Structure 1
Amino acid sequence: MLNFNGELIPQHSNFINQNNRGLRYGDALFETIKVVNTRINFWEDHYLRLMASMRILRMEIPMSFTMEFLENEILEVIKANNLEKAAARIRITICRNDGGLYAPVTNDVSYIIEAKAIENAFFTLDESSYEVELFKDFYVNPDMLSTLKTNNKIINVVGSIFAQENNYQNCLLLNNQKMVVEALNGNIFMVVGNTIKTPPKKDGCLNGILRKKLIEIIGKLPQYQLVEESISPFELQKADELFMTNAIVGIQPITKYRKKTYTHEVAQDLLGKLNAAVRLGQLV
């Protein structure tokens, strides 16, 4: 079951048509959230990012869209899919309502909430081989729109196909200044000694929730120095570690880029602290 504007309907229902603006123009955004035993990981951060993104896209935010309302809508979908005692991936999609060409006739929105079971309740470290390569066919624009989770993700789609065709587990995206921005499905962090570096949002990287949480965690740890600076492709082969982050996986170590192999000690250390932050949030 999924939730369409407050109504629970079967997953395969034909509830949108060719006039949907998300389909026609990519006039939509989404939020991907991990829920464990009905506890929503970092819900306030996800909610605030969703509201900020809607404002940037000039969508009309319904008066009903409070944190409590959307939390209840999520939990209704969890319950309808019998996932109350499981881990689940939630996707909230917000589409501007039908009508108009590029210029819409309304800024009112519709929403879809989906749930899918996932395996791990807490974040775990996958130590298997994880090789990446640069994706250089297309580039990310270093602007605010690139930091949002909109439905305009064709570069991620084509990059994923490139990775599959060449037996890579992921690819790293570059902006049009040829700086490393992020992975296809998450933010990127690079470790050199005790310095942990991640691209700044002005380079066009996604404003990721796990990115934000890790920056907060690292900032409190005296053994590490966090730097938000552009990363050139040449730096990748000098790094001790590379890892990517997203709300579902948590931290994914990268083991190889071209001839360079990486360790994952810092990623392992940070993973424990990230899980502690999740547990703390669930107790609040």
Structure 2
Amino acid sequence: MKQKTGELARKNKIQNNARFRLTIYRDGEGLYAPETNKVGYLLEVKPLETAGYELNKKGIIVDVYDEIAKPVNKLSNYKTTNSLPFVMAAIYQKQHRLDEVLLLNQHGFLCESTSSNLFVVYQNQIYTPALSEGCVGGVMRNVVMQLAKKHQLPLIEAQINPQILNEAEEVFLTNAIGGVRWVMGYGRKRYFNEVARMFSGWLNQSL
């Protein structure tokens, strides 16, 4: 992987920060019943404008998208090309002029957003949907959990009822490209960003 990403960066004359995207697919003939299990892959690269992670100055506005729930199964924790539920959620987001929307799993509990993992600060505890709730096991999710452990902050993987959004002190989203993004509002509810700011600072220190 290190060799191939280096070659691709050089071919595209990218010397600094970049985003690599690896797509792995089943190669060979056959439809739903493959004739072989040969694997193919596509590696893409795109330059990034900034070297670190800057916390968003203006908090984002979110809502819950409940028209199509995300199923919970052994594939749920992986990022796959089966992205139709996320596309539909993003269309809802655009139609309602939101910055982001939160998806529910098939049981009606919080799962993730269209592009990020979710963290909720409630009564001085940090919660994130457990992998058993169907969320993607994101790279930045894992980094935030490690930072919480390092700095001895209580972080709990849990089943999270969306009603907690009306009472939480903070809500923030994480992914490998944007780092930590704090949520300012959900409906009429407004949030702080103290914990999100701490994680953003620790994240940049660790780079």
**Residue 81 (1) aligns with residue 12 (2):** yes
Structure 2 residue aligned with 1:113, among 37, 43, 63? 43
Q: What is aligned with 2:205?
A: 276
Provide the C-alpha distance between the structure 1 equivalents of 2:170 and 2:79, rounded to a whole number of angstroms: 26
2:176 aligned partner? 247
**Matched residues in 2 for 1:264 and 1:120: separation?**
22
- Indicate yes or no: 2:169 matched with 1:229: no
Secondary structure at the counterpart of residue 196 of structure 1: strand
Task: Tell whether 2:22 aligns with 1:92.
Answer: yes
Q: Alpha-carbon deviation of 1:228?
A: 0.8
Alpha-carbon separation, structure 2, partners of 1:140 and 1:232: 15
Deviations 1:148-193 (CA, angstroms, capped at 9, x unpaired): 0111111111111110111011110001110000011010000124
Give the letter for the 1:82 counterpart. K
Query: 2:100 pairs with 144, 149, 170, which one?
Result: 170
* Distance in 2 (alpha carbons) for counterparts of 1:138 and 1:190: 22
* Unaligned stretches of 5+ residues in structure 1: 1-69, 280-284
- Provide the aligned C-alpha RMSD in A: 1.1
Output the TM-score relative to the length of structure 1: 0.71
Following superposition, the deviation at residue 235 of structure 1 comes to 0.3
SS at match of 1:134: strand
Runs of 4+ in 1 over 4 A off after TM superposition: none
Matching of residue 142 in structure 1 with residue 72 in structure 2: yes
Residue by residue, what CA displacement relative to the aligned partner does 1:166-222 show, whole Å, maximum 9, x if unpaired? Answer: 101111000111000001101000012421100100000101111111111101223
The unaligned stretches of length 5 or more in structure 2 are none
The one-character-per-residue Cα deviations of 1:211-270 (angstroms, maximum 9, x if unpaired) are 111111101223x21111111111011111101101111111111111111111111101
Q: 2-side partners of 1:121 and 1:193: how far apart?
A: 34
In structure 2, the residue matched to 1:103 is 33
Structure 1 Cα separation of the partners of residues 62 and 45 of structure 2 = 29
**Number of aligned residue pairs:** 207
Q: What is the CA deviation profile of residues 53-86 of structure 1, one whole-angstrom value per residue up to 9, with x for unaligned ones?
A: xxxxxxxxxxxxxxxxx111011111111111x3
Task: Using the aligned pairs only, state the percent identity.
Answer: 33
Aligned mates of 1:225, 1:120 — CA distance in 2: 31
Q: How does 1:19-34 map onto structure 2 within 5 Å?
A: none
